[in-house]
């Protein structure tokens, strides 16, 4: 049984309300931080914890905090990235919906550490009902003295504001989020300058996602060194995983990153195995933007070693044989799933969500969409596969923000690991439009590994 730091109280009745949350030990980290620690000490504790950003990039949180500029007389801001729009990812939604005070507690401590008196939650527009939950929790915290002026008599002032986005995936990128928060079109900014120097309203700003900020609470309560003892290597603490697809038990799970991928998929504690007794074909382990892995490389590395649910193990071997932890969106595909169809679905998404600012992404995502449409609908040629590879290669690394990479990586991995399936679509144009296309429908299938 994995240790739970974030979801331990998730199923306590009424935990979303202040009285219950406080009774269960809530806001102790605020008391500890504001009354016994300095802002710099809080930052050091986060550094000691080894906490890595839980939004996808996995950059060390404490190091990111230490970069913030501190010019005299200039306000600083903390922005919570709650624009959770990555297909396959829904763990931040779970935290906000069922444990809103955990996020607010983390925001207060983080705001204290960063010197932010006005902190913002930028939330995905589709999460309309969660806005009401957050605003109620913020009001409860304010009524009970945890927000506002002179919190706990320490002289620290902090207010939290909730701002709804308009449903743009691009605003999950921190500089596009800042542009939107300022009331502009959500286009990513060219960096440098980085937000830590010139962010919101050209003031020093730190942007972290929901899970990262919630994790500050157990770090302060237990201490950074104790937190770092959980997990393995540079994958410290616990990680929330949004598990979905062809599994028996989809949901949000908290793991300590020492378990194997095979255990996570087949254990009754987690996913409970592949649904309907099917075999595992492939998995996208970190949300739609990370490379897909076939079963043989998902459960074992290229060296034949067990692959674990952590940052290092999932990326072992690079994109040729590995993937990424990403945002923790764990999408499982069984033997009946068509890789070409799934890749086309993702390409359509990234084409739709491109802001159009960078030519490689604006034009390239259109080409990916069109070529995959042809292949999926029995109109493709073998040369289209090579063209598809060439287009994704010219997008990757040539855009201001990572959306271009996010569009390119799924296509590259699908061709790299399942090229014979793409060729089957070309050679069998009529049959390629079968809805449930799977292992049995093309020549020389990659044989899945069973538990």
The pLDDT tens digits for 106-156 are: 999 999 999 999 999 999 999 999 999 999 999 999 999 999 999 999 999
299 pLDDT tier (thresholds 50, 70, 90) = very high
Q: Residue 102: is its pLDDT beyond 60? A: yes
Element (H, E) at 243: strand 239-245
Q: What per-residue confidence (pLDDT) applies to 447? A: 38
Element (H, E) at 252: strand 251-255
Q: To 10 degrees, the CA torsion angle through 188, 193, 194, 200?
A: -70
76 pLDDT tier (thresholds 50, 70, 90) = very high
Average pLDDT over residues 409-437: 84
Element (H, E) at 400: none
**Residue 163 vs residues 81, 181, 183, 387, 412: alpha-carbon distances, Å:** 10, 7, 10, 42, 36
User: Between 5 and 444, whose confidence is greater?
Assistant: 5
Distance, in Å, from the CA atom of 62 to the CA atom of 51, rounded to the nearest integer, reads 7
Residues of the chain with CATH 3.10.20.600: 235-334
Q: What per-residue confidence (pLDDT) applies to 433? A: 61
Q: What per-residue confidence (pLDDT) applies to 389? A: 96
Distance, in Å, from the CA atom of 228 to the CA atom of 253, rounded to the nearest integer, reads 20
Mean pLDDT over each residue of the chain, to the nearest integer: 93
Q: Residue 450: is its pLDDT beyond 90? A: no
57 pLDDT tier (thresholds 50, 70, 90) = confident
DSSP letters spanning 331-364: EEEETT--HHHHHHHHHHHHHHH--S-SHHHHHH
Distance, in Å, from the CA atom of 403 to the CA atom of 383, rounded to the nearest integer, reads 26
CATH of domain 235-334: 3.10.20.600
Q: Please give the model's pTM, rounded to 2 decimal places.
A: 0.92
Residue 149: which residues within 8 A CB-CB, separation 6 or more? Answer: 157
Judge contact between 256 and 230, C-beta under 8 A.
Answer: yes
Q: Residue 198: is its pLDDT beyond 90? A: yes
Average pLDDT over residues 38-59: 93
Q: Residue 444: is its pLDDT beyond 80? A: no
The pLDDT tens digits for 386-397 are: 999 999 999 999
Average pLDDT over residues 326-352: 95
Q: What per-residue confidence (pLDDT) applies to 3? A: 80
Average pLDDT over residues 305-312: 94
Report the interhelical angle of 359-376 vs 382-395 (nearest 10°).
160
Q: Residue 94: is its pLDDT beyond 60? A: yes
Give the domain 18-229 fold. Answer: Rossmann fold (3.40.50)
Q: Which of 69, 150, 160, 58 is nearest to 110 (CA)?
A: 160
Q: Which CATH code of 1.20.1440.230, 3.40.50.300, 3.40.50.620, 3.40.50.10140 fits the domain covering 339-435?
A: 1.20.1440.230
**Residue 237 vs residues 183, 229, 230, 264, 400: alpha-carbon distances, Å:** 36, 7, 5, 17, 31
Residue 295's Cβ-count burial label (10 Å; 0-12, 13-18, 19+) is buried
Q: Residue 436: is its pLDDT beyond 50? A: no
Distance, in Å, from the CA atom of 379 to the CA atom of 59, rounded to the nearest integer, reads 42
Residues of the chain with CATH 3.40.50.11540: 18-229
Q: What per-residue confidence (pLDDT) applies to 364? A: 96
Alpha carbon distance, N-terminus to C-terminus of the chain: 20
Beta bridge partners of 334: 280
The pLDDT tens digits for 214-266 are: 999 999 999 999 999 999 999 999 999 999 999 999 999 999 999 999 999 99
Q: Which range among 214-218, 234-238, 327-331, 443-447 shows the weakest confidence by mean pLDDT?
A: 443-447
Q: What per-residue confidence (pLDDT) applies to 451? A: 34
DSSP letters spanning 102-166: HHHHHHHHHHHHHTBSEEEEEE-TT-HHHHHHHHHHHHHHHHTTSSEEEETTTTEEEEEEEEE--
Residues of the chain with CATH 1.20.1440.230: 339-435
Phi, psi of 172 (to 5 degrees): -75, -20
Distance of CA 1 to the CA centre of its chain: 24
**Residue 415 vs residues 74, 421, 447: alpha-carbon distances, Å:** 50, 8, 17
Locus of tokens 């009902």: 129
Residue 83: which residues within 8 A CB-CB, separation 6 or more? Answer: 122, 123, 124, 165, 168, 171, 172, 177
Q: What per-residue confidence (pLDDT) applies to 2? A: 67
Q: Which range among 90-94, 418-422, 440-444 shows the weakest confidence by mean pLDDT?
A: 440-444
Distance, in Å, from the CA atom of 358 to the CA atom of 184, rounded to the nearest integer, reads 17
Q: What per-residue confidence (pLDDT) applies to 318? A: 86
Residue 98's Cβ-count burial label (10 Å; 0-12, 13-18, 19+) is middle
């Amino acid at each position: 049984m994995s240790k739970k730091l974030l979801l331990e109280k998730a199923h306590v009745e009424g935990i979303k309300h202040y009285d219950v949350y406080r009774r269960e030990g809530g806001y102790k980290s605020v008391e500890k931080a504001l009354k016994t620690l300095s802002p710099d000490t809080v930052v050091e504790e986060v550094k000691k914890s080894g906490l890595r950003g839980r939004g996808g990039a996995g950059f060390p949180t404490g190091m990111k905090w230490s970069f913030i500029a501190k010019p005299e007389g200039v306000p600083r801001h903390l922005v919570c990235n709650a624009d959770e729009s990555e297909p396959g990812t829904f763990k931040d939604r779970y935290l906000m919906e069922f444990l809103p005070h955990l996020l607010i507690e983390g925001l207060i401590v983080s705001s204290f550490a960063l010197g932010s008196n006005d902190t913002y939650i930028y939330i995905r527009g589709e999460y309309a009902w969660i806005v009401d939950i957050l605003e109620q929790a913020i009001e409860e915290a304010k009524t009970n003295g945890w927000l506002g002026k002179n919190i706990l008599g320490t002289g620290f002032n902090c207010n939290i504001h909730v701002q709804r986005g308009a449903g743009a995936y691009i605003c999950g990128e921190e500089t596009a989020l800042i542009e939107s928060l300022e009331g502009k079109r959500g286009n990513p900014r060219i960096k440098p300058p980085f937000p830590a120097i010139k962010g919101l309203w050209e003031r020093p700003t730190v942007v972290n996602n929901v899970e990262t900020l919630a994790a500050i609470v157990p770090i302060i309560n237990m201490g950074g060194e104790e937190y770092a003892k959980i997990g393995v290597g540079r994958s410290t603490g616990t990680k929330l995983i949004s598990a979905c697809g062809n599994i028996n038990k989809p949901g949000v799970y908290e793991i300590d990153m020492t378990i194997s991928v095979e255990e996570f998929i087949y254990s009754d504690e987690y996913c409970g195995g592949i649904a309907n007794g099917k075999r595992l074909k492939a998995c996208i382990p970190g949300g739609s933007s990370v490379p897909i892995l076939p079963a043989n490389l998902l459960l074992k590395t290229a060296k034949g070693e067990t692959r674990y649910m952590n940052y290092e193990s999932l990326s072992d071997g690079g994109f040729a044989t590995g993937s990424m932890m990403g945002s923790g969106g764990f999408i499982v595909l069984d033997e009946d799933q068509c890789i070409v169809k799934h890749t086309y679905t993702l390409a359509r998404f990234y084409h739709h969500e491109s802001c159009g600012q960078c030519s490689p992404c604006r034009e390239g995502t259109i080409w990916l969409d069109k070529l995959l449409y042809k292949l999926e609908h029995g109109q493709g040629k073998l040369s289209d596969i090579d063209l598809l590879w060439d287009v994704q290669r010219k997008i990757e690394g040539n855009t201001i923000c990572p959306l271009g990479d996010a569009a390119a990586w799924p296509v590259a991995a699908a061709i790299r690991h399942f090229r014979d399936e793409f060729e089957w679509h070309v050679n069998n144009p009529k049959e390629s439009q079968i809805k449930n296309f799977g292992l049995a429908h093309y020549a020389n299938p990659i044989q899945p590994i069973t538990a």
